Structure 1
Amino acid sequence: MATKVTPISGFQEWLPADRIAELIVLDTIREVFELHGFASINTRAMETVERLAGQGEDADKEIYGVRRLAAGDDEAGDTSLGLHFDLTVPFARYVLENSGKLTFPFRRYQMQPAWRGERPQRGRYREFIQADIDIVDIGSLPDHYEAELLLVVADVFSRLPVGDYTIHVNDRKICEGFYRGLGIDDVTGTLRIVDKLDKIGADGVRQLLREAGCTEQQAAQCLALAEISTHDTGFVDRVRALGVEHELLDEGLAKLAAIIEVAGEHAPGVVVADLRSARGLDYYTGTVYETLLERDRGYGSICSGGRYDALATDGKRTFPGVGISIGVSRLLGKLITEEGLTASRETPAAVLVAVNDEASRNVSMRVAAALRARGIPTLVSPKAAKFGKQIQFADRRGIPFVWFPGTDPGASGDGAADRVGDQVKDLRSGDQVAADAASWSPPVADLRPSLVRPEQA
């Protein structure tokens, strides 16, 4: 009996060429993370709901609970475990459990799926891959790491076809100090409201602030702060001009100014001081980051994170950290799904070895083995069809080269190196030359698939 396939929204399943494109992006991110000295870890998919809950306005209702279908009556209502909705919360738990075995400051990267039980929409998925870097220490964490993470992200994006982007940086101490200087006590609630500015606009935010108990003057000042954005340290004078004073505000302004100065030297034009950025998760305590594509700012952040001072603590020691996360699935939803980015071929193979006839398939297999031994991805033709059909097989998959084994077995009768008469054909140019499997190599650009845009495909 045939079973109807029912699609489930909120998941990315790529065709082969697009999956290769995803892997190229992941490999690029991993390479850059390791170049900057981050070590890889992997954490379990499940955490206790108690640990996951309470990390933000919507965190509780976004958690996927986990239970066994075959659970007994005594377990039927168990909702103690949930799938993690980001990689920072499980990383904090990992640090606590392994603190005696880790060397601090600890620099880690993590590339794993996460899950959120929210309504799937453009750029937002139920299951998604994140690529995170974090630096944690014991007791205190130097501020210079907060600028360093920006430079890592800039290095990643310089190697990927993301187009123009900006990393928007703020410090929650600026917002908290400013709000307290205005006489506002509910800092967290105010942050959450102002964080909705891009979604509901200034009038909507003003109304919510008034409903939360702010005066008209306080609401106006909150909006005035949120409108400040500069590529240099000019934001400091603009905040001072608003006439609000608080020691926490002074601290936040100094920290953010230092970050902007470092970014201006090492990644000019990329980083923006944006005082409306707040991030929705409650564990951030200082610097926060959000990254926007300039051609489509409404798409939302593709890379975000921030400083957290109390997320990891065992009651005696605190492990402050700073982290930033590239939303890989979100980024690829834009680049692949919407803009058509893909790989130059749908298979890793750079060479198809033709088969003259089934009786001589072993000859083709020896050629393939010799090429693979030298790191050249190679596929043997599945059928000893006419050469035209074998060429067509390679061309449809984007394989650039077809190898034609010679018919003279040579002196010994086995081993590709002993044979003569082999030819290799470049399907793009049509050029065909004599080749030896012990020494021939494709151009470096053809050895692995590459990322291509629709106009290049």
Structure 2
Amino acid sequence: MAKPTPLSGFPEWLPAQRIVEQQILKIVQETFELHGFASIETRAVEPLEQLLSKGETSKEVYLLNRLQAAEGEEQSRDKQLGLHFDLTVPFARYVLENAGHLAFPFKRYQIQKVWRGERPQDGRFREFYQADIDVVGAGELPYHFEVELPLVMAEAFGRLRSLGVPEFKILVNNRRVSEGFYRGLGLNDIEGVLRNIDKLDKIGADKVRELLVDETGASQQQAQLCLDLAGISGTDASVIGQVRALAEGNGVAHELLEQGLNELEALLNAAAVRAPGTIEANLKIARGLDYYTGCVYESVLIGHEDLGSICSGGRYDTLASDGKNTYPGVGLSIGVSRLVSRLLSKGIVTASRSVPTAVLVAVLDEEHRAASDRVAAALRARGIATDVAPSAAKFGKQIKFADRRGIPFVWFPEGTNQAGEFVAHQVKDIRSGEQVDADPNAWVPQDAADLTPTVFAQA
């Protein structure tokens, strides 16, 4: 068989790299559960018609087709399926289908793969993990959840710092502030303005100004005021005063603007207490997806801003609706694969070993393999990950086998040595060379961290 050609955009980590990813997922999951979020999993596919109605990302949907359709089977659009490009759209459908079985407000987390047919590049993949949290209400959802969710994410990223993940910042805006300001200016194409403001970091202020004039009907003055609003940022409530000064100084007033400012101020005040310095109001954050209606969030790693947002989301009021009932929600999603890829490609973190194994049990010879298996069984029964040497090579080679995998301990079962003397069970720490008598029914490593692989910052 010829050597396979790698597929770009579909990451496959080596074992030690996978351990890094697993440790990150474990901390994220633990944090979500500590805050009362329940785990769900949704199917990988959704009706194409539904996926195509959810904003610009719909253009990146992968279709799911059979290699050979059954005779007479039509490939009409309403029957086609696509792989989900995020976890929010499937979650909205899940809520509608299961509303009668859910207690609202419903808090869920979801960690799954998603697929997007975009051009692979640094931090961008065609298949990748996302880790989402959402809160959905029935008919209404109090604003305090828009405050709670970024604080939960701030806690999760704070705990990831223990693994060596760099510092982070969560950027937040409130679409009511932006929409109220734009309407107060006399602009009507709100979605168009938001989409263009969302391009600021990619194409710069001059090109965005041109787009606002050409595509949304803004005057040069209106376009400049939109850019002035987008230039306001800060981590405390002084941001609110800056926006009000800009609005009042230019005769801009709208009830949505005032509502959004009050909400944004509440978030900043809460963040100052629970996550000081980590949440920043940034009025250029717009988010390109059409379904966001309130707070919108993006997150960056300090020193790695070129990677783009590693965690984003926002408030949506009409995404989950069956025509009679509406289930407003707010959610945030971590781009796990994007984060992991940067940590690995830049050598920021590493794993202490490539396997979960803490102990390798040596084999004297094949006739005594059963004795080694019994030792391994005794250690595993007490939760110690244990492997048995694959061959009865010289002990030196068995130790090298363990060393190459990062296994810290090698166990030598009791038995009779070549001199005819009885030798008790012994365990060797191959890092220090210390070798001591040990009981497989009682032994534990002195350092509990040796039981499982650890992830840490590389020097």
TM-score by length of 2: 0.94
1:402 aligns with 2:416: no
Which residue of 2 is the match for residue 101 of structure 1? 101
Identity of aligned residues (%): 60
Deviations 1:204-229 (A, max 9, x none): 11111111211010001000000000
Give a deviation string over 1:350-394, Cα, whole Å, max 9, x none.
000111111111111111000000000000011111110000000
1:349 counterpart = 2:357: yes
> Counterpart of 2:177?
174
The one-letter code sitting in structure 2 at the alignment partner of 1:166 is K
Select the residue among 327, 330, 339 that pairs with 1:322: 330
Give the drift of 1:408. Answer: 5.2
CA deviation after TM superposition for structure 1 residue 3, in Å: 2.9
1:59 — aligned with what?
Answer: 57
Do residues 444 (structure 1) and 438 (structure 2) align?
Answer: no
The residue number in structure 1 matching 2:66 is 68
Residue aligned with 2:415, SS: coil
The alpha-carbon deviation at position 118 of structure 1 amounts to: 0.9
- Over 3 Å counting, the alpha-carbon distance change for 1:425 and 1:4 in structure 2 is closer
Aligned partners of 2:74, 2:360: CA distance in 1, in Å?
A: 55
Equivalent position to 2:228, from 224, 227, 230 = 224
Residue 9 of structure 1 corresponds to 8
Match of 1:415 in 2: none
Q: Which residue identity lines up with residue 201 of structure 2 in the other structure?
A: D
Q: Partners of 2:207 and 2:165 in 1: how far apart?
A: 32
CA drift at 1:401: 0.5
Gaps of 5+ in 1: 410-418
Q: CA shift at 1:14, angstroms?
A: 0.6
Q: In structure 2, what is the equivalent of residue 27 of structure 1? A: 26
- Per the alignment, residue 371 of structure 2 pairs with 363
- Cross-structure match for 1:248: 256
Q: CA deviation at 1:234?
A: 0.8
Q: SS of the counterpart of 2:383?
A: coil
How far did 1:339 drift? 2.7
| Preserved contact between residue 67 and residue 78 of structure 1 (Cα < 8 Å) | no
Letter in 2 for 1:358: E
* Aligned 1:284-295 pairs, distance under 5 A: 284-295=292-303
What SS is found at the alignment partner of 1:241? helix
- The Cα shift of 1:55 comes to 1.7
From 375, 380, 391, the equivalent of 1:383 is 391
Cα drift, residue 195 of structure 1 = 0.4
Question: Cα deviations across residues 161-183 of structure 1 (Å, max 9, x unaligned)?
Answer: 32111000000000000000000
Query: Aligned-residue CA RMSD in angstroms?
Result: 1.4
Residues 83-128 of structure 1: CA deviation (Å, up to 9, x unaligned): 1000000000000000001111111000000001111111111001
Say whether 1:123 aligns with 2:123.
yes
Alignment of 1:82-101 (within 5 A): 82-101=82-101
Match of 2:100, SS state, is coil
Aligned residues: 444
1:215 and 2:213 aligned: no
Q: How does 1:187-202 map to 2 (within 5 A)?
A: 187-202=190-205
Contact 2:165 2:457 in 1 (8 A): no
Alignment partner of 1:47: what SS?
Answer: strand
Match of 1:40 in 2: 39
Letter in 1 for 2:63: G
Q: What one-letter code is carried by the residue in structure 1 that aligns with 2:132?
A: D
In the alignment, structure 2 segments of 5+ residues that lack a partner are: none
For residues 458 and 26 of structure 2, what CA distance do their matches in structure 1 show?
22
